[in-house]
Chains A and B, each alone.
Chain A
Amino acid sequence: MKKLFHLPPEVGWRDHLFGALMAVGVTAWLLVTADAIGFARDEGFYFRAATQYAGWFKLLVSDPSQAFERAAIDRFWGYNHEHPSLVKSLFSLSWLGLHEKWPILRGASDAFRLPAMVLSGVAVWVTYLFGARVYSRRAGVIGALLFLLTPRVFYHAHLACFDLPIVAMWTLCIYVYWRSIERGGIGWALVAGIVYGLTLETKHNAWILPAVFVPHAVLVMRNHLRGDWKNQVLRVPMSLVAMALVGPVVFWALWPWMWHDTAARLREYFDFHFNHVYYNMEFLGKNYFDAPSPRGYMPLMILATVPAITLLLCGVGVGSQVGRAVGWMRSWRAKTLVEGTRPTYPNVLFGLAALAAISPWLFTKTPIFGGTKHWMTAYPFMALFAAHGLDLALNALGASMGRLPRWAPVVAKAAVMGVVVAGPLAITSHAHPFGLASYVPIVGGTKGGATLGLNRQFWGYTSQNANEEYLEEHARKGAAVFIHDTAWDSWARMIDEGRVRPDFRGVGAPHQSDYAIVHHELHMNEVEFQMWVAFGTRAPVYVVAHDEVPVVSIYRRP
C-alpha cells in the first residue's frame, strides 16, 4: 500500500490518475455552477444542431444504409455545416444518452454542455501532465490551476460551444506530438495523426498547428538535416507524416456533411472562415465592425482579463527560458554545445504553441469579435510558463531559507502557493456568471474595464439574470418580453428548462413588449434609444449589474 502512494521521479500512471481526478473535479465544478449562466447565442444554434444530428444517429441505428445516403446526410447535417461536427456530435450523443434515454442529467442543457465541460477537464489534465513532465509535479498542478482560474476560461468552459474543446484538443495534440518525438515509434505517431484529425474536427484553429510542429520538428531534427538529402525523408518525424496523412482522413470520416460533394463543401468551409463576416466589438470606447482591427486588442485584452500574477510569473518563466536559449545559441555557435541524446525542446514547443495561438491577432485583418475566446489556446502554455516561473521563485525562496529549520521553507512555499492561487481563484469565482463583463484588478476590475470602454458581454446570455433578478417576481402573467440579443433557440431552451418564467412570450421588437431588455454593448445602444422613444422613458425599472456596472437594463411599458 505504501508503495502505491510512493511517487517515483518518473511521471507515470499515478500522474494520469491524478490528472484524471482533476478533470473529474473540474467537470463537477462546472456542472454545479452551470445553472447560473444563461444560454449564449451560439449555444442556441448548437443545441439545435445537436438535436438535428441526433436524428441521424437514430437513423444510423435503425437503418444504416439510408443513413449514408446523401439525402439523409443533407437533411440532418446541413444545419450549421460551417463548423465541423465532432463537438456537436458529442453534444448530441450526450443529450441522447444522458438526458433522453437515461435521464441522468435533469436539464437537457446540462447534457448538451457536458462534453465541453469534460474536455475542459481534459485540458486541465493535459496541462498538469505537460507541467509535471517538463518542469515538476508542483509546476504541473500550479499550471493546471492557473489555466483554469482565468475568468474567461472558466466562463467559456461552461458552454456548449467549441472554445474550450479546441483548447483541450490543441493542448492534447501538442502533448501527443511531443510524446511521439520523445518516445518515437509508429504507435505514438499514429496516435498523433488521429488526435490531429480530431483536433481538425473540433475547430478550424487546428489548421494553424503545423506552424507549431514544423519549426519544432526542424529544431529537433536539425542535426540530421545537415546530412545528405537521401536520408532526409526517413528523418522526418513519423508523427508529422501521420498527422498529414491520417489527420485529414479522420477529419473527413467523422464529418458526414463532407462525405458527398467533398471538394465543393471543403471549399465552402474554407471560404466561410477565410472571409468571415466581422461582427461588432468595443475596444477602448470605439466600436470595431470591419478591418482594420486594432493591433493593441489582443495584448491589452490579455492584460485586462488574465490575473496579473499569472502574467507576471509567465514573464518570469519565459524570461528564464529566453536566457537559457541565448546561452544555448552561444554554445551552438561556438560549437561547444553538449546536449542529451534526444533533446525535445518542450519550452520551444510551448512558446510556439502560445505564439501560434495569438499570432492571428497581430494582423489587422483578423476580426476581433470573439473577444479573448479565440486565442485561449495559448493559455495552457502561458500557465505552464507561469508555473515554471513560480517553481523558480519557490526554489529561490527555499535557498534563502537554508539556515532555518527544515519545516520552515516547506510552510513558506505552501503559503506562497496558496496566495498565488488565491487571487486568481477569488477573481474567477467572483466573475461567475458574468465572466465576459469581468476584468482583472490591474485595469481596475469590472468598473475599470467599463471606464476603459471594454466590451461587457456578447451573445445575449444574461437574459436569464434579468429574469432571476427582476422579471420573475415583477412581470405580470403572460407578459411579452423583448429578448434583444438572445437567440430564439436559446430563449426557447431557457423557457423549456424553467430558467425563464414559462408564461413569458418572447417578442422581437421593443414596441411589441411589456418589458424590454437591453444587453449593454456599445453597438446595441440604438436598441435602448428605441425603447426611450417607444416607452417614453429613459429610466429602466431595473438594472442587472456586475460590480455595479450595468450588464442588462429592463424597461417597462408605462
Chain B
Amino acid sequence: MNEDTQPVQPSDAPKTRLLVLVRRWWFVPILLVAAIELGLHAWQTRTVMRPEDWAAVRSTLEAQAQPSDLVVLAPSWLGPVGRMHLGNGLMTVGRVARADESRFSVAHEVGLGSARSPALAAWPVDQEQRFGSLRVRRLRNPDPRPVIDDLVAHATGAGMEVSTVRGGVPQECAWRPGPPVTGTLGFGPALPGDRFHCSRNAWVGETVNADLDYAPRRCIHAPPPGGNEVLRLRWREVRFGARLEGHHALYVEAERDRKGTPVRMAFSSDGKPLGEASHEDGQGWVSFGFDTPELAGRTGELTAEVSSPRGDRRTYCFEATTR
C-alpha cells in the first residue's frame, strides 16, 4: 500500500477536509479583498463634517468655554479646518500655541469621531455632545496649576525693559511699533510689528516659534548675543507665586542639527538669584522651574539674562509664568 491509498484516520479527517477546502477555495478570501477595499474606499471618502455641525460646535463652545479654558482639536490635522470654522475668538494664540496644558483647569476637545488629543488622554471626561460626526468633550484637568502671571503677556514696551550688556555696560533696546516681518521656510519665527530693536538687527518680542516637533509655541524671542555679552530682560511688575515655571527652545532649524552652543538663562529679582536654566540643541521645547516661596504673594521686578558662548543662529525663545 503506498501513501496515496492509505485510509484517512478518523482523527485526521477534519484536518484533511479543511486542507481540501483550502486548496480548492483559497482564492475566495483573496478576491473578497477587492470588494472589501472598494467598499472601504466608498465609506472612507464620504463627507462627514458638515458646515452646520461646525456652526453648532462653535455656538456651543462660545456659550460654554471660559477664557481660562483650553480648546483643542483632534486629530491634529483637523487644525486648519477647525480654526477656520471656530474663529479667532475660540482659537486664541494662548490656546493654539500653548506652552503646555497644565495651566488649564478645563478643556473642550473637538474631535472627529473617536479621535482624542494625546495630551489630554488622562483627563476625565465630564460631558460629551455630538454634532454629526464631531464630538465636543468637556474634560477636567486632574492636576491643574493655574497661572498667576504670564511673563509673555508683559513683553511690551510698557511691561518690560530690554538691553544688551557688554562689560557691565548696558545698551538699551528700543521698543518701536512697526510692521511685522516674515519670510519663507527657514526664516525662523516672524518678527512681530511691535518689538524691541537691539544692536546688530537683533530683536526681542512675543512671537510664535516652531519647536523641534514643529509645534507652535507662543514665546518671547530672546536671542543671546554671544560671547561675553548678555541679553537682559527686566519685567517691571510681576505678581509672584510659589514657583516660577517656564519652557524654552530654539527655532527648529536652529537646533535640529545639534551644532549650536547651549543657551543659559539666569533669573533674579531685586539682585537676588532665583535660578538658572540651560538649553542644549536637540532638547526641543523643555520645561524649567524654580521654587520662589519667599516671593509668593508679592509684586516686584524680575530680571532674566540670556547668554551663550556663540551667538550665531541662537534663535532662542522662552515662556515663563508664576504659579
Contacts and interface: CB of A to CB of B under 8 A. Distances in A.
Contacts of A422: 34, 38
Contacts of A524: 185
Given A445-B41, A511-B179, A523-B185, A529 B97 contact: yes
B33 A532 contact: no
Given A396-B27, A508-B184, A539-B86, A420 B34 contact: yes
Contacts of A448: 44
A524 B186 CA distance: 9
Interface stretch (A64-72, A204-212, A346-354, A543-551): A543-551
B214 A445 contact: no
A68 B44 CA distance: 57
Interface residues of A, number: 67
B38 A444 contact: no
Most buried by B among A289, A445, A450, A527: A527
A532 B216 contact: yes
A302 to B, nearest CB: 15
Given A451-B77, A538-B91, A511 B190 contact: yes
Given A400-B24, A527-B184, A430 B35 contact: no
Nearest to B48: A548
A444 B180 CA distance: 41
B265 interface: no
B40 A441 contact: yes
Contact of A526 (B45, B96, B214): B214
A233 B117 CA distance: 67
A397 interface: yes
Interface stretch (A186-194, A308-316, A364-372): A308-316
Interface in A510-558: 510-511, 520, 522-534, 537-543, 545, 547-550, 553
Contacts of A420: 31, 34
A509 B183 CA distance: 4
Contacts of B27: 392-394, 396-397
A509 B184 contact: yes
Contacts, number: 178
Chain A contact surface mostly: helix
Interface string B183-199: 11101111110000000
Contact of A532 (B44, B86, B208, B215): B208
Contacts of A540: 80, 83-84
Given A416-B34, A540-B80, 6 more contacts: A393-B30, A509-B183, A527-B184, A527-B187, A530-B189, A533-B180
Interface of A: 287, 289-290, 307-309, 312-313, 316, 389, 392-394, 396-397, 400, 416, 419-420, 422-423, 426-427, 430, 440-442, 444-448, 450-451, 484-485, 508-511, 520, 522-534, 537-543, 545, 547-550, 553
Interface of B: 24-27, 30-31, 33-35, 37-38, 40-42, 44-45, 47-49, 75, 77, 79-81, 83-84, 86-88, 91-93, 96-97, 112, 115, 179-185, 187-192, 207-210, 214-216, 251-252, 256-257
15 contacts: A393-B30, A396-B25, A396-B26, A397-B27, A422-B34, A427-B41, A451-B115, A508-B184, A526-B187, A526-B252, A529-B208, A532-B93, A533-B190, A534-B190, A547-B44
